[in-house]
Amino acid sequence: MTTQTNPNPNPQSCTNPNKFDFLDDLRSKYNHQPVFLQAVEEMALAIEPLFNDPVNGEFYLKAFLFLTEPEKMISFHVPWMDDEGKQHLNRGWRVEFSSALGPYKGGLRFHPTVNDGILKFLGFEQIFKNALTGLPLGGGKGGSDFDPKGKSEAEIRRFCESFMTQLCRYIDAATDVPAGDIGVGGREIGFMYGQYKRLSNKHGEGVLTGKSPLFGGIQLRPEATGYGTVYIAKHAIEDKLERSLEGSRCAVSGSGNVAQYASKMLMDLGAKVVSISDSNGCLAKQVKRARLSELDNVVSGKYIPGRSPWTLPDLQADFAFPCATQNEIDQDGASLLTKNGCMGVFEGANLPVTAEGQGVLRSKPNVLYIPGKAANAGGVGVSGLEMSQNLSRTYWKREQVDIMLKEMMEGIYKQMKEAAGEDGTLEQGCNRAGFLKVAHALKELGWVY
C-alpha cells in the first residue's frame, strides 16, 4: 500500500488524511463532503488487508472504488404551503448507491442539516449494513432539508405529499424501497404512502417500509433498531467478555425510537440505564416521553442543559450506546469513556463516533467496538422482512418477528467474528464481511472484473 502526502488535506475528513493515495481523486472531487469522506476512509482502513492480498487485492481495490460512487443521484425541489397560505421551497434527494444485492434500500431523513454529502455518507454505510442482514437488499438513502420541528400536522402532511409527488417516479418494490429515518416516522410514512396510492393506483405494494400494520406494515418495526443493537451487544458481551448485561451500567444518548427502545430492552435484560439525552441536554434516567428539561427533579438524576452524556467527566458506564446522530462522540468523549471503565461501544446511530474517537477505541484492544453497520442493522433487517411480508401477502405476529430479529442479529455477530479471524477486531470483521459479500456480487454480475 503506497502512501503519499496530500498538499491540501481536509482536516475534517480523517485522522490521517494523507493515507490511501488511491482516494485522492475522491477527496479532490468531494472535499466539501467531509462526513462522506470519513465514512469511505473508515471503511478503507478496516479492509486494508484485503487490498494487499497477493491474489485478489487488485480486484478488491477496484470493487471498493466502484462502490464509492452512487449509481444514481436524484435531486428535486419540494414546494409546499404553510397554514398561512405562504409557499415554501425545500430540496429533496434520493441517493441510489448500489443495487448489486437487490433493490436500493434505505431511509428518508427530514432535517435542516440534510444535504447531498450527508445522504451519500448514509447511503454508502447502508450498502454494507444491508449486506450483513443476509437479505437481498441494495443500499440507498434520501431525504430533505425540511425541518418538521415546529410545523403543524397539516403542514407536515402537505410537505410529505409534495415530496412523494416528486419521489414516486423513481421508486418501486423491485427498484428502490425507502423507509423512515430522523424526522420521518410512522405518521410521515403514512402521509407519503397515501399520496403514492393516489398517484399510482397501486395498493398493498412494498414500495415503502415502516408503514402502519393497518396497510401492510410489520410488527416490531419501530422497536427493531434499538432492540437489535442490544441483542448484538448481548452476544458480544457474553462471548468476548464472558459477562452479562444484567446489572451493567449502560449510557444511552438520543431520545428517538432507537434510544427509547434500546433503553427499554436494556432494562428488560436487567441493565441499568444511566443516561439519556435530547438536543437540549441530557438526563440520567429513562422516563416517560417529554422534553428532558421538563423532567428535572421528577426522576432520580440531574438534567444538564447543553451537554451530551459523552462530555460528562463523572459518567460511570460499563457500556455505551450512542443512539443520537453522527459524530457525537469525539476524541475527548471516547477518552473519557475508556478512562472511566467503559468496556464496549455499540453504535445505535450511524457513524456516531468521529474518526479521532474511533482511533481512541482502536487503541484499546480490550474495549469492544461494533459499528452501526452491524449494531443498528436490525431496523433495515425488519424492513426487509416487511418487504417479504408485502410480496407474499402474509402477516407475521410480533413474537415471530422478534424471533427472526434475534436470529438475524446472531447471524450478523457470527459473520463479524468469522471475518475478523483470530487477530482482527469486531469492527474489522463487520466491515470485511459486508464488503466481501458485495464485492463477490459485483464480480458475479460482471460489473467489476
Grid cell, residue 203, equals: 395498493
Nearest to 159 by CA among 170, 143, 174, 181: 143
In degrees, rounded to 5, the angle at the alpha carbon of residue 260 between the alpha carbons of residues 344 and 327 is 50
Of 120, 141, 285, 373, catalytic: 141
Residues 6+ apart with CB under 8 A from 232: 346, 370, 374, 375, 378, 409, 412, 413
For the question of residue 141 being annotated catalytic, the response is yes
Estimate to the nearest angstrom the gap between the alpha carbon of 126 and the chain centroid: 7
Give the separation between CA 193 and CA 384, rounded to whole angstroms: 17
Residues 6+ apart with CB under 8 A from 326: 35, 118, 121, 349, 350, 351, 352
Nearest to 128 by CA among 377, 405, 414, 411: 377
Is 143 within 8 Å of 110 (Cβ atoms)? yes
Q: Give the alpha-carbon dihedral of 255, 105, 435, 417, to 10 degrees.
A: 50
Give the separation between CA 143 and CA 116, rounded to whole angstroms: 9
Query: Residue 76 class from Cβ within 10 Å (0-12 exposed, 13-18 middle, 19+ buried)?
Result: middle
Active-site residues, by number, are 141
